[in-house]
Amino acid sequence: MGPNVTFYRGDDGALSVGHINGSVLFLEDQSSGAAPDRTHIVTIGSDVLFYRSDDGTFFVAHIDSSGHLFETHSNVAAPNWTHIVAVGHNVLCYRGDDGTFSVGHIDSSGHLVERHSSGVASNWTNIVAVG
């Protein structure tokens, strides 16, 4: 099996997981109505973090070796993050208007664990992980 890819449709929460083999996309798993209105989706290893900015709710899903996606944990984090970026096995959450950020990771039971929170310069419009 090639690399996994997750498709998400925000209005109804439909999910589909597939993989790429050469130049062909194969859809493996599909579900509907899983989690509508998520504003951010970030992969961290084999986990996928789905986050809704207005209230901070999120859930973590895991893609298993056969390409199926299943939810492992849901919870509430800080609301109004404007950027969520996977950096290795960590996740960087950033709020552009005031420069607040949080660094965390997904633990073995699927919880988002915050390790540090502070402030940096505000109003960054794009953030990407390198390396």
Mean pLDDT check: name the lowest of 16-25, 28-37, 39-48.
28-37
Full domain range(s) for residue 77? 4-119
**CATH classification of the domain holding 23:** 2.130.10.10
Number of structural domains (the chain) is: 1
Quick check: is 125 in a domain?
no
- Which helix (H) or strand (E) covers residue 3, if one does? none
Phi, psi of 17 (to 5 degrees): -115, 135
Query: What are 37-51's pLDDT values in tens digits?
Result: 889 988 887 788 888
Quick check: is 37 in a domain?
yes
Span 65-86, average pLDDT: 80
Span 79-92, average pLDDT: 90
Quick check: is 128 in a domain?
no
Residue 79 has pLDDT above 80, yes or no: yes
Residue 34 has pLDDT above 90, yes or no: no
Quick check: is 131 in a domain?
no
Quick check: is 129 in a domain?
no
- Spatial CA neighbour of 98 closest among 127, 82, 75, 122: 122
Q: Which residues are paired to 40 by β-bridges? A: 51
Say if CB 17 and CB 69 are below 8 A apart: yes
Average pLDDT, the chain: 82
